[in-house]
Amino acid sequence: MRLSRLAAVNFRNLEPFELPVDARFVVFHGNNAQGKTNALEAIWLTATLRGLRSRKHRDLVRWRETSATVAADVEHDGITRAYKVELGGGQRKALLDGKVVGDQADYFAGIRAIAFTPDDAGIVAGEPSKRRGWLDRAAFTAAPAHLSVVRTYARTLAQKSALLKQEQPDLDLLEVLNEGVAREGARLAHRRAAILGELSPHIKTLHKTIAGGGQMSLKYKTAAAGETLEERTVALADRLAEVRDRELQRQTTLAGPQTDDLQIQLSSRSARTYGSRGQVRSLVLSLKLAELVAARERGQTPLFLLDDLSSELDRGRTSHLVEVLAELGTQVFVTTTDPNHIDGLPQGETQTVRVAEGALISGD
């Protein structure tokens, strides 16, 4: 995938712009609070239909404006298509080649992105929900149909949660819903385990390159245990039966993929508990880059977005990162306060864009 044009109107603090892109590495640089991350977020919104830092559409619209648009031309498999997202009235509209998108699978077939931001440290150092979110995002990048699996399970779980909160729950209905939770939860856990199995070898190799060594391990902890989908369904059904009375007493769900976790260890110690800031950053970057490597093996090349690189990695880790990125062949968009921090990027393939008070100035 290769982005050749980026444009936006009334997006965040950015002045209206249309930016031709003619390089594999694009560096947005400038002082803090000028709009560098907003430029990156315009790409992320176009590629994922979600904000990079906020789920609220209103937050993406320029102050005192009522609507905003972002657009990009992206080439994939020799075909260039026009992507556009319109925001207004609390609504979001996605357009592909000027037509409103009916099936999001068509939209995502030609554009996807992976992002590394300061907040991503939470994947390693934060709560289990952060790690579950990363697994689901990685599975979505590999196959957008994963979003449907996540949503189906969420609906099933919401129905069960609502039933448990009733004063006198229908126990027959609870059994039916538990069957649905076991079935859909097993599907979700199975897909999460599959993407982790695909990514794990790449993560370990990349971690050695970026961190300069060190042993690490990853393990998906789930009640839906097993090798096959059928085994996972049975295991989760058994667990749901075990906690049934406690769920009724507490009026809340206690088992299912919403309680799963990804265990990440460094030298047999919890990275969440014992990992230093630098170790956490290296781990997260390894997770993200592994998605790129796996995607390339599938014949895909998602866009890769790196926010605030100069403050997130020291020069040694940045140098290793640049080496990896130069080999992957993906298009990379970076924000930094100091472009010299990434002076190892290929000069003939790098475009610099200065961002000052919301204005984008290419080649500066």
Q: Which two tokens stand for residue 283?
A: 């781990």
- The answer to whether residue 363 is domain-embedded is no
CA 287 to chain centre: 11
Q: Is the pLDDT of residue 350 over 70?
A: yes
Of 93-107, 187-201, 206-220, 289-303, the range with the highest mean pLDDT is 187-201
Mean pLDDT (whole number) for 38-53: 94
Q: For position 290, which CATH number holds?
A: 1.20.1050.90
pLDDT tens-place string over residues 127-162? 999 999 999 999 999 998 999 999 999 999 999 999
- The answer to whether residue 216 is domain-embedded is yes
- The answer to whether residue 159 is domain-embedded is yes
- The answer to whether residue 314 is domain-embedded is no
CA distance 12 to 33: 12
- The answer to whether residue 74 is domain-embedded is no
Look up the pTM and report it. 0.89
Lowest average pLDDT, out of 8-12, 312-316, 331-335, 343-347, goes to 312-316
Q: Which two tokens stand for residue 172?
A: 């027959």
pLDDT tens-place string over residues 148-198? 999 999 999 999 999 999 999 999 999 999 999 999 999 999 999 999 999
CA distance 83 to 3: 10
Share of the chain above pLDDT 70, in %: 97
Mean pLDDT (whole number) for 238-256: 97
Q: Is the pLDDT of residue 67 over 80?
A: yes
- The answer to whether residue 311 is domain-embedded is no
CA distance 100 to 342: 39
For the chain, the three-class secondary structure string (H helix, E strand, C coil) is CEEEEEEEECECCCCCEEEECCCCEEEEECCCCCCHHHHHHHHHHHHHCCCCCCCCHHHHECCCCCEEEEEEEEEECCEEEEEEEEEECCEEEEEECCEECCCHHHHHCCCCEEEECHHHHHHHHCCHHHHHHHHHHHHHHHCCCHHHHHHHHHHHHHHHHHHHCCCCCCHHHHHHHHHHHHHHHHHHHHHHHHHHHHHHHHHHHHHHHHHCCCCEEEEEECCCCCCCHHHHHHHHHHHHHHHHHHHHHHCCCCCCHHHCEEEEEECCEEHHHHCCHHHHHHHHHHHHHHHHHHHHHCCCCCEEEECCHHHHCCHHHHHHHHHHHHHHCCCEEEEECCHHHHCCCCHHHEEEEEEECCEEEECC
- The answer to whether residue 263 is domain-embedded is yes
Print the domain residue range for 254: 115-299
Mean pLDDT (whole number) for 277-302: 90
Q: Is the pLDDT of residue 323 over 80?
A: no
- If one counts the domains in the chain, the total is 1
Q: From the CA atom positions of the chain, what is the Rg in Å? A: 22
Residue 320 near residue 281 (C-beta atoms within 8 A): no
- The answer to whether residue 3 is domain-embedded is no
Share of the chain above pLDDT 90, in %: 73
pLDDT at 313: 65
Q: Is the pLDDT of residue 311 over 70?
A: no
